[in-house]
Amino acid sequence: MAVRPYFVNGQWRTGEGSFEVRSPYDDSVVAEVGTPTEADVEEAARVAAGTFEESRRLPVHARAEALAHISRRLAETVDENAELIAREGGKPIKWARVEAQRAVSTFRWAAETVRHGDDELIRLDTEAALGSRIGLIRRFPVGPVLGITPFNFPLNLVAHKVAPAIGVGAPIVVKPASATPLGALRIAELFAETDLPAGMVQVLPVSSKVADGMARDPRYRKISFTGSSEIGWYLKGLDPKKRVTLELGGNAGVIVHADADLDLAAQRIAFGGYYQAGQSCISVQRVFVASEVFDDLADRLTKQVESLKVGDPLDPTVDVGPVIQRSEVDRIAAWVREAVEQGATVLTGGQGDGPFFQPTLLAQVRPRDEGLPRGDLRSGGDDQPLRDVRGGPALVNDSRYGLQAGVFTNDINRAFEAHRTLEVGGVIVNDVSAFRADQMPYGGSKDSGFGREGLRFAMEEMTEPRIMVLSHVPL
């Protein structure tokens, strides 16, 4: 098998060694990827810093057309990209196609955002003492970006870092997850087809240890990180002067009120808890149900969960694929055992099987810091009845995480109360926490993150406003 090269300074290189990318499903070798050298890592930082003087001056049409080109090319190769996602990460092909199509949208939205612009005029003749003045506010990139991405969305989460960086004229070096580097390399291939400076996008599939040194490098003025809370907050503490956006873990809760459409709630909770084998920051992990409909919803939800098909991610009928590493099956099983020992009831699932953990639903999980299962890797959800639905937000908030939450209700007042009360980055009404549109602001509160992604919002995070005051002008 030929070594798959990485991308530095517009060049494809194989380095001095390589590592294997293996399928989580059958452990087959998907690709062998070159390992960047120390010289490559240094060159990438130097080139990004040197390219910044050129990239920051690129006109809107150049940036927007490059983004549109990548979007078009991703659209032409959706099936190919979906298979790549499924093979390297184990995501079922039906959901891998969704991710591949979302990447198309992500780059398209970035192009549209750039063309729309965000410059602002502000009147400054508001007081007699100020004279006849007007201000022009523009945003300028802060500098080169280091993007660090996780395994669970190997194409679209890379897109969410590369597209806004290109959009604002900031060079970006991407460090993809070692388990799933192929999506990032795919985006590099399409970037190489554009007319943008070669140093604007580089991809280095390095180890976490090497990435630590990159994060400390002062030439990277901005870090955009998606991954675990522990690593994210560690990165933020490295340099107080460095801009950092963190999209971290979650412990997403869903509230189901008695007036909700229970069929809809059961169907969407079953989707939101298991479509990524639970390996998503916003997958449903806790469900709080009005006591008068608890048994009814539990029955409907159990049937929905039991209908999910587990198996080969390349099978188009499969709903749930393998977890990313087989060692995680034992870790998830330990969480389930702990929950049962503390009084929880297994309504369905609860067992590991090779690279899979069966979709698992627990009832009456004992309230605790994070509930069970918890963390970034899980395969199941838990139900708790609410004697008083007004206590739902407090239970959702009883977590150090706050990424997104879902609320099922037909009462508009409850929806607005949830929006005001829930300590999360997003409240999804009549759907689950797992919903995300790529143009919306996305990020968390508390230990779930710092800053926001979503094209316009990510661009704001990568730039800073600067005002120019025009004095003595006839207004």
Kindly report, residue by residue over 96-127, the tens digit of the pLDDT.
999 999 999 999 999 999 999 989 999 999 99
pLDDT at 1: 83
- Count Cα neighbours of 364 within 13 Å in the Cβ-side half-sphere: 9
Indicate if 223 and 76 belong to the same structural domain: yes
Indicate if 125 and 183 belong to the same structural domain: yes
Q: How big is the CA angle at 80 (ends 79 and 83), to the nearest 5 degrees?
A: 85
Contact 30, 182 (CB under 8 A): yes
Query: What are phi and psi for residue 310, nearest 5 degrees?
Result: -105, 135
Of residues 205, 214, 202, the one with CA closest to residue 149: 205
The Cα 157–Cα 371 span in angstroms is 27
The Cα 72–Cα 66 span in angstroms is 10
- Residue 456 in any domain: the answer is yes
Indicate if 412 and 268 belong to the same structural domain: yes
The Cα 152–Cα 394 span in angstroms is 29
pLDDT at 240: 92
The Cα 365–Cα 363 span in angstroms is 6
pLDDT at 374: 33
Indicate if 311 and 406 belong to the same structural domain: yes
The Cα 439–Cα 310 span in angstroms is 31
Q: How big is the CA angle at 71 (ends 81 and 205), to the nearest 5 degrees?
A: 55
- The structure's pTM equals 0.94
pLDDT at 180: 98
Domain that includes residue 313, residue range: 253-437
3 state SS of 256: strand
Count of the separate structural domains present in the chain: 2
Indicate if 316 and 199 belong to the same structural domain: no
Of residues 373, 434, 432, 376, the one with CA closest to residue 408: 432
- Residue 474 in any domain: the answer is no
Report the 10 Å Cβ neighbour count for 49: 18
- Residue 76 in any domain: the answer is yes
E-assigned strands of 235-348? Answer: 243-247, 253-256, 286-290, 345-348
- CB-neighbour burial class of residue 277 (10 A; exposed 0-12, middle 13-18, buried 19+): buried
- Residue 155 in any domain: the answer is yes
* Alpha-carbon 334 to chain mean position: 26
Residue entry with tokens 């299962």: 373
pLDDT at 371: 39
Indicate if 69 and 113 belong to the same structural domain: yes
Long-range pairs of 97-103 with CB within 8 A, sequence gap ≥ 24: 99/153, 99/155, 99/156, 100/74, 100/155, 100/156, 101/75, 102/156, 102/159, 102/438, 103/74, 103/155, 103/156, 103/159, 103/187
- Residue 220 in any domain: the answer is yes
pLDDT at 379: 38
Contact 418, 427 (CB under 8 A): yes
pLDDT at 386: 55
Which residues does residue 148 pair with via DSSP β-bridges, in sequence order?
Answer: 175, 225
How are beta strands 253-256 and 286-290 bridged, if at all?
parallel
H-helix or E-strand containing 473?
A: none
- Buried b / exposed e along 85-117 (16+ C-beta atoms within 10 A): bbbbbbbbbbbbbbbbbbbbbbbbbbbbbbeee
Cα dihedral across residues 452, 453, 456, 458: positive or negative: positive
Indicate if 240 and 286 belong to the same structural domain: no
Indicate if 321 and 452 belong to the same structural domain: no
The pLDDT tens digits of the residues spanning 309-353 come to 999 999 999 999 999 999 999 999 999 999 999 999 999 999 999
- Computed on alpha carbons and rounded to an integer, the radius of gyration of the chain in Å comes to 23
pLDDT at 365: 87
The Cα 138–Cα 467 span in angstroms is 6
Q: In 3-state terms, the chain is what percent helix, strand and coil (to 5)?
A: 40, 25, 35
CATH code, domain with 20: 3.40.605.10
Active site residue 281: yes
Indicate if 358 and 413 belong to the same structural domain: yes
As separate numbers, helices (DSSP H) first and strands (DSSP E) second, the chain gives 14, 25
- Residue 300 in any domain: the answer is yes
Indicate if 201 and 301 belong to the same structural domain: no
The Cα 425–Cα 433 span in angstroms is 10
Which stretches of the chain score pLDDT less than 70? 367-390
- Residue 473 in any domain: the answer is no
Out of 43, 88, 247, 461, pick the active-site residue. Answer: 247
Please enumerate in sequence order all residues whose Cβ is within 8 A of that of 196, keeping only pairs 6 or more positions apart, or say none. Answer: 55, 58, 62, 63, 66, 166
Indicate if 240 and 259 belong to the same structural domain: no
Indicate if 372 and 463 belong to the same structural domain: no
Residue count of the chain, please give it. Answer: 475
- Residue 240 in any domain: the answer is yes
CATH code, domain with 298: 3.40.309.10
How does DSSP classify residue 135?
Answer: E
Out of 43, 88, 281, 461, pick the active-site residue. Answer: 281
The Cα 424–Cα 248 span in angstroms is 12
